[in-house]
């Protein structure tokens, strides 16, 4: 069974630009969560999608948004990029049907803002 | 609010046991997790424990949960150089949505 796939692996952008990251969950998983990892703040929850609906959202500004498609693939978008958005962005999937099944992570997209 | 605390570093000798500790605050957590992260990689799920359990063993890994003290530990028996990584403790959100609150991670350093 293929794991969680995130594309691209690396991305370099400049301040003010926007970026879209993609995540394909494990087959059959309907919940996709996104996290930001930085040396200073550690791993922080961004949002979670289940059946194309955002079920939960972390404490991030509105520049961070996401969506989920009918095949459970998810994208996150960051607009008006700032230097502080440089981070490893991790996606995780789980069955999502309740019961708090473990989340399985992809290898992440490393975003660098110049 | 929810908070997960871990010590930042642990140094052990190869062949010894490693014990990584974690405290959490959300009493409504249903699952508690240990993840491993190697340089340049994502998070690898090592093991997890349901909050109504006290202990779980999986090969070289033993998880102990003290629910009264909200204390979780991960013991790695016979620590090897390949165990060198950052280990994250995480608790599940309460309520219906999925999502995790992570500790800052413990860097496990193996001495030869």
Q: Which residues of B touch A45 (CB under 8 A)?
A: 99-101
The pair of three-digit structure tokens given for residue A89, joined into one six-digit string: 């962005």
- Kindly give the parts of chain A with pLDDT less than 70: 1, 97-100
Which residue in B104, B59, B66, B4 sits closest to A41, CA to CA? B104
- The 3-state DSSP class for residue B82 equals helix
B72-105 burial code (b ≥16 CB/10 A, e <16) = bbbbbeebeeebebbbbbbbbbeeebbbbbbbbb
pLDDT at res. B58? 93
How high does pLDDT run on average in chain A?
94
Q: Any chain A CB within 8 A of the CB of B43?
A: yes
Q: Which residues 7-66 of A are in CB contact (within 8 Å) with B?
A: 31, 33, 35, 42-45, 48, 50, 55-56, 58
User: Given a cut of 80, is residue B61 above it in pLDDT?
Assistant: yes
Nearest of A2, A45, A9 to residue A26 by alpha carbon: A2
Tell me the pLDDT band of B53, cut-offs 50, 70 and 90.
Answer: confident
pLDDT for the residue numbered A113: 97
Chain A: nearest CA to B69, how far in angstroms? 22
Tokens of A58: 């972390």
Q: Which long-range contacts (CB under 8 A, 24 or more apart) does B62-69 make?
A: B63/B32, B63/B34, B65/B32, B69/B23
């Amino acid at each position: 069974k293929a794991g969680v796939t995130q594309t691209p692996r690396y991305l370099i952008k400049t301040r003010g630009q926007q970026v879209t990251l993609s995540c394909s969950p494990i087959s059959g998983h309907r919940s996709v969560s996104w996290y930001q990892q930085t040396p200073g703040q550690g791993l922080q929850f961004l949002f979670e999608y289940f059946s194309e609906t955002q079920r939960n959202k972390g404490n991030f500004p509105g520049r961070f948004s996401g969506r989920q498609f009918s095949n459970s693939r998810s994208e996150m978008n960051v607009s008006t990029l700032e230097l502080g958005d440089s981070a490893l962005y991790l996606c995780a999937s789980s069955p999502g049907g309740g019961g708090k099944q473990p989340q399985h992570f992809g290898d992440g997209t490393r975003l660098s803002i110049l | 609010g929810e908070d997960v605390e871990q010590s930042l570093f642990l140094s052990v000798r190869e062949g010894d046991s490693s014990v990584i500790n974690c405290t959490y605050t959300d009493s409504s957590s249903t699952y508690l997790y240990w993840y491993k992260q190697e340089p340049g990689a994502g998070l690898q799920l090592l093991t997890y424990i349901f909050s109504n359990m006290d202990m779980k063993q999986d090969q070289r890994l033993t998880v102990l949960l003290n629910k009264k003290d909200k204390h979780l530990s991960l013991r790695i028996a016979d620590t090897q150089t390949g165990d060198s990584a950052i280990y994250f403790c995480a608790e599940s959100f309460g309520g219906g949505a999925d999502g995790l609150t992570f500790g800052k991670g413990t860097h496990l350093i193996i001495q030869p």
